[in-house]
Amino acid sequence: MDLHPESGLGPVYHGGEGGGGAITWPRMFALTAVPDEDDGEQEPVVACYGMEVPGGPAVTFLAGGGMFGTWNSAMRAAERLGLDLWWSDE
């Protein structure tokens, strides 16, 4: 899943003379868990998906589409839920 715009246009700046930085896009992520060894599976399972606003909060969604929660950041969501964080662009 490629989340970067492919318009071919350069970044837009605000505040004149280079402004405070380019507009950035929200980052998509997944939170995964490894099932118990008793189940016989070792493949990570996606617990939920999410989106983080640059420098701001994150929201998580269940795989079925329902909203799961809001967080200060994607990292904080992973820490609180005890899950592994995977960014879509890594």
pLDDT tens for each residue of 33-60? 987 766 666 788 899 999 998 878 999 9
Task: Kindly indicate the confidence band of residue 64, based on its pLDDT and cuts at 50, 70 and 90.
Answer: confident
67-71 β-sheet, strand order: 67-71, 58-62, 45-52, 27-33, 84-87
Is the pLDDT at 2 greater than 50? The verdict is no
Q: Report yes or no on whether pTM surpasses 0.95.
A: no
Among 5-9, 20-24, 66-70, name the most confident range. 66-70
CA 14 to chain centre: 25
Residue 3 pLDDT: 43
Q: Identify whether 16 is part of a domain.
A: no
To the nearest whole number, what is the mean pLDDT of the chain?
Answer: 77
The letter for the amino acid at 7 is S
Backbone angles phi, psi at 81, to 5 degrees: -90, -10
Supply the range of the domain harboring residue 62: 27-87
Residue 74 lies in a domain: yes
What value does the mean pLDDT take over residues 11-23?
52
Tokens of 1: 């899943």
Domain count of the fold of the chain: 1
Distance CA 84, CA 82 (A): 7
Question: Counting Cβ atoms within 10 Å, is residue 81 exposed (0-12), middle (13-18) or buried (19+)?
Answer: middle
Inside any domain, residue 31: yes
27 DSSP β-pair partners: 52
